[in-house]
């Protein structure tokens, strides 16, 4: 067990990871592609959309390529139709004269377009009506990855945008997305495709007799396995692929190189949960192995607390204390602050509950309440009457328990993060504070963008003094 797993040792910190500063990255005209990758359910698409919006409002001409956005998120950007074409997003602050375009990847459409672009009409029609092609292109697992790469290459080649933000498919594993171009490329170069496509070619060449025998055995086997019609379909399809997709290998290689180029930045997106961060660590290692430029880690849904100096343990003890008061009708004081406790009803408190409530809080008397929240002053509750006091005690105990939960969550998140940082101290991290609700509109995305750029969750000043601050 690693030492940082000690639940009680929450004050000890590893040296913090460097902060990922996203504004310089998206402002830099040299940054042309930002790829957001990570496991499913960590807010990858939202991060991509929020970054795209932020970059556009800071003056860049951006296109966001999303793969499979939640409907509400897509609608928030005004793209609810799957038409595979970048659409201009309206409602932006365009004072910096930037633009935001967004599109959703339609796999089948993208596949069809490649065929149409690279084959003459007759051949294209033959491919498009091939049952094997139809089944493959409609998007079994895997096709998405190829098509996302293909679309990225296309968008980049059009050179209409100066920044492309890509959301990656929710892959089974990190490998699929990076491997897609290579895998297809090596398949097209492989021997199987020769075998399937060129029995005639092989036959005539000297020294190929052995292969030819092997080949017919193979086609025989495949025929037996697949059924004659399907084998013919596969052969037709593969032959068509080979001739029309001649350029695919070249393009796949080019896209791969594009991803390695200095103008590309990878962002690994995660949430402070064990599985998501494990996957993130894997992505980081994988990107390094492929020499892909990693900008840093975006850690979504990080929780904070404005009162993080009040530990879970103390909050629970205090809550118990309040509940004990309730039961005994007698204040029992756990004095952990040396004399600061036990101020209930003491004359020097400013407690406005003692004074008649009024619509307009007097500047001196009502002031402990949040001035932004005058409604808390309007109530008649909280007078010295016992039942009200008791319900306040109960409520306060509830607030403290809620806080204890929050603090436990915080320390759990911190431990998971520390584990990642211990493994990859070099990776810069941008933390995004958790939102209580979901994002539905541009304002929500903008909010996330602000949080992204802040790099650390912005929290109000903490309250209770603690001598041992880091």
Partner 1 sequence: MSRLQVVSGKGGTGKTTVAAALALALATEGKRTLLVEVEGRQGIAQLFETEALPYEERKIAVAPGGGEVYALAIDPELALLDYLQMFYKLGGAGRALKKLGAIDFATTIAPGLRDVLLTGKACEAVRRKVKSGRFVYDYVVMDAPPTGRITRFLNVNDEVAGLAKIGPIHNQAQAVMRVLKSKETAVHLVTLLEEMPVQETADGIAELRAAHLPVGRIVVNMVRPEVLDGADLELVRTTPRSAVAKALSSAGLGGARRGGNAEKLVDPLVQQAEEYAERYALEHEQRSVLGELGLPLHELPLLTEGMDLAGLYELATELRKQGMS
Binding to partner 1 (CB under 8 A) within 150-189 occurs at 170, 172-173, 183-184, 186-187
Is the CB of 22 or the CB of 312 nearer to partner 1? 312
d(CA 12, CA 259): 38
d(CA 228, CA 231): 5
Is the CB of 260 or the CB of 367 nearer to partner 1? 367
Cα separations in angstroms, 80 against 69, 76, 87, 101, 335: 10, 9, 10, 13, 59
DSSP H helices, 341-469, are 375-378, 386-423, 442-454
Cα separations in angstroms, 355 against 18, 344, 369, 372, 383: 50, 15, 13, 20, 8
Q: Which stretch binds partner 1 (CB under 8 A): 95-103, 261-269, 283-291, 331-339?
A: 331-339
The answer to whether residue 386 forms part of the interface with partner 1 (CB under 8 A) is no
d(CA 39, CA 398): 35
Is the CB of 57 or the CB of 389 nearer to partner 1? 389
Is the CB of 158 or the CB of 274 nearer to partner 1? 274
Exactly one of 9, 160, 253, 370 binds partner 1 (CB under 8 A); that residue is 370
The answer to whether residue 58 forms part of the interface with partner 1 (CB under 8 A) is no
Residue 264 pairs with which residues in a beta bridge?
Answer: 33
Spatial contact of 400 and 319, defined as CB atoms under 8 Å apart: yes
Query: Within positions 90 to 119, which residues make up the interface with partner 1, using CB under 8 A?
Result: none
Could you identify the residue written with the tokens 């959301």? 167
Element (H, E) at 302: strand 294-302
Instruction: Encode 239-264 in three state secondary structure.
Output: HHHHHHCCCHHHHHHHHHHHHHCCCE
Query: Within positions 309 to 328, which residues make up the interface with partner 1, using CB under 8 A?
Result: 310, 314, 317-319, 321-322, 325
Exactly one of 57, 99, 112, 377 binds partner 1 (CB under 8 A); that residue is 377
d(CA 441, CA 42): 19
Query: Within positions 186 to 245, which residues make up the interface with partner 1, using CB under 8 A?
Result: 186-187, 190-192, 195, 214, 217-218, 221-222, 224-230, 233
For residue 19, give the DSSP letter: B
Query: Within positions 16 to 45, which residues make up the interface with partner 1, using CB under 8 A?
Result: 39-42
The answer to whether residue 347 forms part of the interface with partner 1 (CB under 8 A) is no
Residue 177 pairs with which residues in a beta bridge?
Answer: none
Exactly one of 122, 359, 465, 470 binds partner 1 (CB under 8 A); that residue is 465
Exactly one of 30, 342, 362, 426 binds partner 1 (CB under 8 A); that residue is 342
Exactly one of 30, 91, 131, 425 binds partner 1 (CB under 8 A); that residue is 131
Spatial contact of 368 and 352, defined as CB atoms under 8 Å apart: yes
Spatial contact of 115 and 136, defined as CB atoms under 8 Å apart: no
Is the CB of 262 or the CB of 460 nearer to partner 1? 460
Q: How far is the CB of 42 from partner 1 (least distance, A)?
A: 6
Exactly one of 11, 12, 13, 72 binds partner 1 (CB under 8 A); that residue is 72
Task: Map residues 246-275 to x or -, x wherever contact with partner 1 holds by CB under 8 A.
Answer: -------------------------x-xxx
Element (H, E) at 326: helix 312-328
Q: Which stretch binds partner 1 (CB under 8 A): 23-31, 89-97, 251-259, 367-375?
A: 367-375
Query: Within positions 412 to 431, which residues make up the interface with partner 1, using CB under 8 A?
Result: 412, 416
Spatial contact of 162 and 60, defined as CB atoms under 8 Å apart: yes
Is the CB of 29 or the CB of 214 nearer to partner 1? 214
The answer to whether residue 350 forms part of the interface with partner 1 (CB under 8 A) is yes
Q: How far is the CB of 190 from partner 1 (least distance, A)?
A: 4
Is the CB of 62 or the CB of 222 nearer to partner 1? 222
Instruction: Count CB atoms within 10 A of the CB of residue 235.
Output: 17
């Amino acid at each position: 067990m690693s030492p940082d797993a000690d639940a009680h040792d929450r004050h000890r910190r590893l040296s913090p990871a460097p902060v990922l500063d996203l504004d310089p990255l998206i402002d830099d005209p040299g940054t042309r592609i930002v790829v957001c990758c990570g496991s499913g359910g960590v807010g990858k698409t939202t991060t991509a959309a929020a970054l795209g919006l932020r970059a556009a409002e800071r003056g860049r001409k951006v296109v966001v390529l999303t793969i499979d956005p939640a409907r509400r998120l897509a609608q928030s950007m005004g793209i609810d139709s799957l038409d595979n074409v970048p659409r201009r997003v309206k409602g932006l602050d365009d004072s910096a004269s930037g633009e935001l375009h967004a599109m959703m990847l339609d796999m089948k459409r993208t596949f069809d377009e490649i065929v149409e672009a690279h084959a003459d009409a007759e051949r294209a029609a033959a491919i498009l009506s091939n049952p094997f092609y139809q089944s493959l292109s409609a998007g079994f697992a895997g096709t998405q990855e190829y098509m996302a790469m293909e679309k990225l290459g296309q968008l980049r080649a059009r050179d209409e945008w100066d920044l492309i933000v890509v959301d990656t498919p929710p892959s089974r594993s990190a490998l699929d997305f990076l491997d897609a171009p290579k895998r297809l490329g090596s398949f097209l170069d492989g021997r199987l495709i020769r075998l399937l496509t060129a029995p005639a070619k092989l036959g005539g060449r000297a020294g190929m007799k052995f292969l030819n025998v092997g080949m017919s055995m193979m086609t025989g086997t495949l025929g037996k396995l697949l059924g004659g019609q399907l084998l013919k379909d596969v052969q037709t399809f593969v032959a068509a692929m080979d001739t029309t997709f001649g350029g695919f290998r070249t393009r796949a290689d080019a896209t791969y190189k594009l991803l390695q180029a200095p103008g590309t930045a990878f962002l690994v997106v995660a949430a402070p949960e064990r599985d998501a961060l494990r996957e993130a660590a894997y992505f980081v290692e994988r990107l390094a192995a492929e020499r892909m430029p990693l900008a840093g880690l975006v850690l979504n849904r990080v929780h904070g607390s404005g009162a993080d100096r009040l530990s879970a343990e103390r909050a629970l003890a205090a809550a118990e204390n309040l509940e004990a008061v309730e039961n005994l009708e007698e204040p029992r004081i756990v004095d952990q602050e040396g004399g600061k406790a036990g101020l209930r009803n003491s004359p020097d408190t400013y407690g406005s509950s003692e004074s008649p409530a009024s619509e307009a809080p007097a500047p001196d008397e009502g002031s402990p309440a949040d001035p932004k929240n005058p409604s808390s002053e309007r109530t008649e509750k909280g007078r010295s009457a016992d039942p009200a006091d008791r319900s306040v005690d109960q409520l306060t105990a509830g607030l403290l328990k809620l806080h204890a939960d929050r603090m436990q969550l915080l320390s759990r998140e911190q431990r998971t993060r520390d584990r990642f940082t211990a493994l990859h101290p070099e990776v810069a991290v941008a933390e995004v504070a958790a939102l209580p609700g979901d994002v539905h509109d541009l304002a929500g995305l903008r909010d996330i963008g602000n949080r992204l750029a802040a790099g650390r969750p912005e929290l109000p000043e903490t309250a209770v003094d603690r001598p041992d601050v880091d």
